[in-house]
Structure 1
Amino acid sequence: MVTSGTPDSAGTSGTSGSPGTSGSPGTEAFRAARDLLLAHREDHDTAYERFRWPRPAEFNWALDWFDVIARDNERTALWIVEADGAERRWSYAELSRRSDQVANWLRGRGVRAGDPLLLMLGNQLELWETILAAMKLRAVLIPATPLLGPADLADRIDRGAVRHVVAGAGDVDKFADVPGDYTRIAVGGAAAGDGWLAYAEAYREPAGFTPDGPTGADEPLLRYFTSGTTARAKLVEHTHTSYPAGHLSTMYWIGLRPGDVHLNVSSPGWAKHAWSSVFAPWNAEATVFVYNYARFDAPALLAELDRCGVTSFCAPPTVWRMLIQADLSRLRTPPEIVVGAGEPLNPEVIEQVRAAWGVTIRDGYGQTETTAQIGNPPGQRVKPGSMGRPLPGYPVVLIDPLTGEPGDDGEVCLDLSRRPAALMTGYHGDPELTATVMAGGYYHTGDLAARDADGYLSYVGRTDDVFKASDYRVSPFELESVLLEHEAVAEAAVVPSPDPVRLAVPKAYVVLASGWAPTEETARAIFAYSRRRLAPYLRIRRLEFADLPKTISGKIRRTELRAAERDKHGAADARPPGEYREDQLS
């Protein structure tokens, strides 16, 4: 189904009139799996039972899927709206031709199959062109956010054994002191000079691309540096199957349909951008929509959602929490599809969006190491606080961290005897870590969850975030969800604070909503709310108003907050400056 007002809405799925209906055996295997999920979009049980991952021996998504559906297809594949109001659209056919030109030019610059290519661009046309072109060449993409500095880039180029760099002209100076024998390609600006080649020269190449040879489905395609919430960033390796075909699960969770206009709030360089701004929408033959702002502006974003007829919207919890502080009722036609990912959604956010738009934000769970593993797909009952059920193709098992036995509470794991095609091959250059997370016949996510009688899973927390207080197990997420229901709280992170009697007590670091001051009166109000909503052993006992340390991708670094608590308290129980305590304010 395509909503009225959606641009370029002619055509539906590959089985009912898609522009491209032929291709390789890999194309047909992919199409069959994709179409089964579309046919059972709102029937999770049937989709889960009948879905099988496409596992062709050879597969190149850019050639065997994108180019096939792009033949004579003038529907919009990519639509970018700039903050100043300028906008451009590119059709499937146009992106196919342009990526051919870029692939031909990159090949002339020495890019070969297996070469690691670091791609550091913002939300701009050249990003999507280069992704497709590199896939056609069988190069190995290493996406990088433009927020990286020289030290991070040096680490990525060294550990990633980078042979080629494609970066924006505004970022070329960052590479001045980054050693390595790598081709330098600049996008935009004066570009050429000082050893940098001008990307714009690619458009002089002829369209029409002939691959050097077949693409093995298990050849490496992507190496992602994780955001590093607890340690040095890991280097996750995916293949030509695991991410392109793997994101059939993501397409299903979101509920994307041919002709949808999908806006995903995510920055290039991180896995979530590939999830929802490349593979999932183009798997569905939808439009990738980008609102390319430099500074987040909730009213402006809502206005573009309305003006452009966005039908599907995905955003991380941080963005949803900022949006609900704006006037959601301004939208005349809210998106039909709304999902959240990155971190668990809090029930208060879900309820406010439902009240304003009449739709329910559906949570989902996955990792850089996988695609969407667990989620609430369309048409299913959404249980408050649950991230849903295992998605088609994912054999999820909960393993007790102490006994190693499966049960209804434990670490989220994947049964390797039914290994999902979407699972990474491992951590590049780190066989020991790979062996650790694949131990015992399971892939270990490091996340804890609980399963109810209906098979719904609720997120408990990271294995290293859950802590003991007075011998009770405390899930920070549970407490944070309650805090976020208070009108004064914009963001919150709960960590253990050393205590001589209880071993540890829950302490909240709080970012205040607009209009609230970091005063004793505000702290007293939050403590009182905590007492009313939480059991005595779960209450917030200490509180501090502060900005939250985050990774470059926006995830809260609770490991820094835990370390700060140990440093502040040590063996003494003296109250550090800026900390409020419940027993002193009640």
Structure 2
Amino acid sequence: MGSAENVRNNEQPPFGPGSDLGSGSGIASDAGQARARLDRAASVANFRAAREVLWQHATDYDTAYRTFEWPELGEFNWALDHFDPMARGNDRPALWVVEADGSERVHTFDRLARRSDQVANHLRALGLGRGDRVLVMLGNVGELWEVMLGAIKLGVVLIPATLLLSTEDLADRLDRGEVRAVIAAAEVADRFADLPGAPLRIAVRAADDSNTVPGDSNTAPDDSTAVPAGWHDYAQVDAAAEEFTPDGPTLADDPLLLYFTSGTTSKPKLVEHTHASYPVGHLSTMYWIGLRPGDVHLNISSPGWAKHAWSNLFAPWNAEATVLVFNYGRFDAQQLLEVIARCKVTTMCAPPTVWRMLIQADLGAHRTDLRELVGAGEPLNPEVIEQVRTAWGLTIRDGFGQTETTCQIGNSPGQPVKLGSMGRPLPGYHVALLDPDGKPADEGELSLDLARRPLGLMRGYRGDAERTADAMRDGHYHTGDVAARDADGWITYVGRADDVFKASDYRISPFELESVLIEHPAVAEAAVVPSPDPLRLAVPKAYVVLVEGRTPGPELARDILAFTREKLSAYKRIRRLEFADLPKTISGKIRRVELRNHEADRTENRNPNEYWDSDFPDLRQG
């Protein structure tokens, strides 16, 4: 595809977690023996050499794509072999947490190296060891990063969890995740009260901010927060030794992370990543963002989700940059802009929702040190990109990836950006668009070539060989997303394969229609699904959530329909519109399957607050 097809067909290096996943087994074969021949020093040297290629060609996409190869790894533990050598004696800020009340804590690289050694020693003293499953349910607090690093050093398998999980969600995770230990904020401990499993439980109490001074990272826990009965106090980490000795080598393809993906049509899947696939695989994410040593990187993301690990852990620390966290409760655009300016943020990643809220503030009133801006989750509409470019002289660059992968496709630094496009395959990713027959096409399911398997691809779906085999069938990893490629090789997102539908025999991308809908000033969110129609079989129907202060009614419905007609071809026109709340997963993904089923089961009666274009004869004549 475009420049990707011109790349020489590099031989797959010995390391590729689960390199036989194309057959659906999800288990590495004899590749492990080849990997074990590489000791830690050789693995680290290969990692650094691969990183250097990306830095050397940071703004030269063609050369970076042509020359980059994933590093061959054998024994490798990212926290011990990359982070610690970079962090020891390094007093630069590694983690900078700014609270909404203005208080802040700065954790240096050296402190995090020593503190994570204490965490690893303490967890080992409590009986945890290599391969044990640990569910981590913490907010944006320093202890989260200490635990992540300490757990990686020890070799346990981490299961990140959002604070939004209910008791029912947690019961599923403890059961299917075979969780041995939980490390959670004390204030959510009650959700585990009646749940079996996870015999070891550790509570992290909120910090006592009464004597906090800017830059102080050594605040004690708030004694007014009690440690729940039967739980260990995380503060006991303070007494552990500051030097950790591993019990043996970590292999790069040892399991490291289990992510419960938020399923929109079924129970969450367990995505398994290794000590290579996420830590080292995020070299592609580092390249996409444009991270350099000394950067101050701000990522707007919540703990528990893969994107938090992407941009708040692995990508910035691969680049030896500072992770800046703005730990707010309620989003305030003005306050965020003040943090960006005061903390001299150089690189920033935020979802489209945040960018849309930011442009409501006066961007030009803030003098910033920003150099790179990226967005992920969905393409940004041109209006947002233009307003940011006018105010800051910078272009927000899109990217695409999944929980199952690192960043696969992106607009990389220094390259032309085509509005609406996700960009081109990133170094190390060989992308194919496959039609329903599995043949290459200019529009089709976005898939990854397993003959040149990217290091950043998951090992598989843990405990689900059938799903793994289906995702890895016919020599490709199938993302389930549909995309289109233009003549220059730029790729544009179309939608989830399950969401694309036909109306009057035309293929409709809900994503494209939704992107137009949210450009209307009254629309906060939208979801488009097929609605049965006796003439066309199906027509596009939009479910719309309004911004605060707007009231649903026929006048507004007509205005929104008229607005979209000006921007969409006739065959793509939205024929029906309903003002309603959108069903969502716990991670905020819209459950379109519920909306589709609702439409499929509909009677002849209209739903409340539902309007059709036939209600407005003047509109249909226009």
TM-score, with length taken from structure 1: 0.94
* 1:348 and 1:484 in contact (8 A); partners too: no
2:512 — aligned with what? 478
1:78 — aligned with what? 95
Does residue 107 of structure 2 align to residue 95 of structure 1? Answer: no
* 1:449 and 1:459 in contact (8 A); partners too: yes
1:520 — aligned with what? 554
Secondary structure, in 3 states, of the residue corresponding to 2:566? helix
In 1: Cα distance, 2:162 partner to 2:43 partner: 31
Does residue 520 of structure 2 align to residue 489 of structure 1? Answer: no
Q: CA deviation at 1:337?
A: 1.2
In 1: Cα distance, 2:598 partner to 2:147 partner: 42
In 1: Cα distance, 2:148 partner to 2:553 partner: 49
1:583 — aligned with what? 614
Deviations 1:121-167 (A, max 9, x none): 00001100000000000000000001101110010010000011000
> How do 1:302-321 and structure 2 match up within 5 A?
302-321=337-356
2:545 — aligned with what? 511
In 2: Cα distance, 1:364 partner to 1:75 partner: 29
* 2:95 and 2:322 in contact (8 A); partners too: yes
Does residue 417 of structure 2 align to residue 382 of structure 1? Answer: yes
**Mean CA deviation greater in 520-529 or 119-128:** 520-529
* 1:488 and 1:513 in contact (8 A); partners too: yes
Does residue 477 of structure 2 align to residue 448 of structure 1? Answer: no
Tell me which amino acid in the other structure corresponds to 1:581. Answer: W
Q: CA deviation at 1:39?
A: 1.1
Secondary structure, in 3 states, of the residue corresponding to 1:303? helix
* 1:55 and 1:421 in contact (8 A); partners too: no
> How do 1:132-143 and structure 2 match up within 5 A?
132-143=149-160
Q: CA deviation at 1:203?
A: 1.1
2:496 — aligned with what? 462
In 2: Cα distance, 1:328 partner to 1:545 partner: 31
In 1: Cα distance, 2:198 partner to 2:567 partner: 59
Q: CA deviation at 1:543?
A: 1.0
Q: CA deviation at 1:497?
A: 1.3
In 1: Cα distance, 2:495 partner to 2:548 partner: 28
Match of 2:383 among 348, 356, 376: 348
Does residue 462 of structure 2 align to residue 428 of structure 1? Answer: yes
**Mean CA deviation greater in 387-396 or 318-327:** 318-327
* 2:40 and 2:74 in contact (8 A); partners too: no
2:36 — aligned with what? none
1:195 — aligned with what? 230
1:256 — aligned with what? 291
Q: CA deviation at 1:181?
A: 4.5
Q: CA deviation at 1:171?
A: 0.8
Please, what is the CA RMSD of the aligned residues?
Answer: 1.4
Taking a change above 3 Å as real, the CA distance of residues 480 and 181 of structure 1, as seen in their structure-2 partners, is: closer
In 1: Cα distance, 2:100 partner to 2:412 partner: 32
Does residue 194 of structure 2 align to residue 177 of structure 1? Answer: yes
Secondary structure, in 3 states, of the residue corresponding to 2:469? helix
**Mean CA deviation greater in 48-57 or 350-359:** 350-359
Deviations 1:8-49 (A, max 9, x none): xxxxxxxxxxxxxx9722221111111111111101111111
Match of 2:182 among 165, 168, 175: 165
In 2: Cα distance, 1:461 partner to 1:181 partner: 38
**Mean CA deviation greater in 39-48 or 173-182:** 173-182
Deviations 1:94-130 (A, max 9, x none): 1000000111111000110000000000000110000
* 1:191 and 1:198 in contact (8 A); partners too: no
Deviations 1:455-493 (A, max 9, x none): 100101000110111110000111112222222222222
**Mean CA deviation greater in 315-324 or 458-467:** 315-324
Q: CA deviation at 1:207?
A: 0.7
In 2: Cα distance, 1:442 partner to 1:117 partner: 31
* 1:101 and 1:205 in contact (8 A); partners too: yes
Does residue 363 of structure 2 align to residue 328 of structure 1? Answer: yes
Q: CA deviation at 1:191?
A: 4.8
Tell me which amino acid in the other structure corresponds to 1:201. Answer: Q
Secondary structure, in 3 states, of the residue corresponding to 2:139? coil
2:259 — aligned with what? 224
2:62 — aligned with what? 45
In 1: Cα distance, 2:369 partner to 2:198 partner: 50
In 1: Cα distance, 2:198 partner to 2:560 partner: 55
In 1: Cα distance, 2:202 partner to 2:463 partner: 26
Does residue 248 of structure 2 align to residue 213 of structure 1? Answer: yes
* 1:220 and 1:237 in contact (8 A); partners too: yes
In 2: Cα distance, 1:481 partner to 1:215 partner: 45
Taking a change above 3 Å as real, the CA distance of residues 181 and 360 of structure 1, as seen in their structure-2 partners, is: closer
* 2:40 and 2:75 in contact (8 A); partners too: no
**Mean CA deviation greater in 506-515 or 156-165:** 506-515
In 2: Cα distance, 1:123 partner to 1:202 partner: 19
Match of 1:129 among 140, 146, 149: 146
In 1: Cα distance, 2:310 partner to 2:299 partner: 9
Deviations 1:425-477 (A, max 9, x none): 10000000000000000000000011111110010100011011111000011
* 2:363 and 2:392 in contact (8 A); partners too: yes
In 2: Cα distance, 1:44 partner to 1:460 partner: 24
Deviations 1:267-288 (A, max 9, x none): 1000000000000000000000
Tell me which amino acid in the other structure corresponds to 2:170. Answer: L
2:594 — aligned with what? 560
Q: CA deviation at 1:327?
A: 2.6
Q: CA deviation at 1:516?
A: 2.9
* 2:444 and 2:482 in contact (8 A); partners too: yes
Q: CA deviation at 1:529?
A: 1.2
Secondary structure, in 3 states, of the residue corresponding to 1:491? strand
**Mean CA deviation greater in 412-421 or 339-348:** 339-348
Q: CA deviation at 1:294?
A: 1.1
* 2:553 and 2:609 in contact (8 A); partners too: no
Match of 1:113 among 107, 125, 130: 130
In 2: Cα distance, 1:232 partner to 1:383 partner: 36
Deviations 1:491-521 (A, max 9, x none): 2221111112111111112222344322211
Deviations 1:308-345 (A, max 9, x none): 11111111112222222333223222622111112332
Deviations 1:43-72 (A, max 9, x none): 111111111111211110000000010121
Secondary structure, in 3 states, of the residue corresponding to 1:449? strand
2:405 — aligned with what? 370
Match of 1:34 among 34, 40, 51: 51
Secondary structure, in 3 states, of the residue corresponding to 2:551? coil
2:13 — aligned with what? none
* 1:191 and 1:197 in contact (8 A); partners too: no
Tell me which amino acid in the other structure corresponds to 1:253. Answer: W
In 2: Cα distance, 1:329 partner to 1:231 partner: 45
Tell me which amino acid in the other structure corresponds to 2:188. Answer: D
2:330 — aligned with what? 295
Match of 2:307 among 272, 275, 290: 272
Secondary structure, in 3 states, of the residue corresponding to 2:458? coil
1:65 — aligned with what? 82
TM-score, with length taken from structure 2: 0.88
In 1: Cα distance, 2:115 partner to 2:589 partner: 35
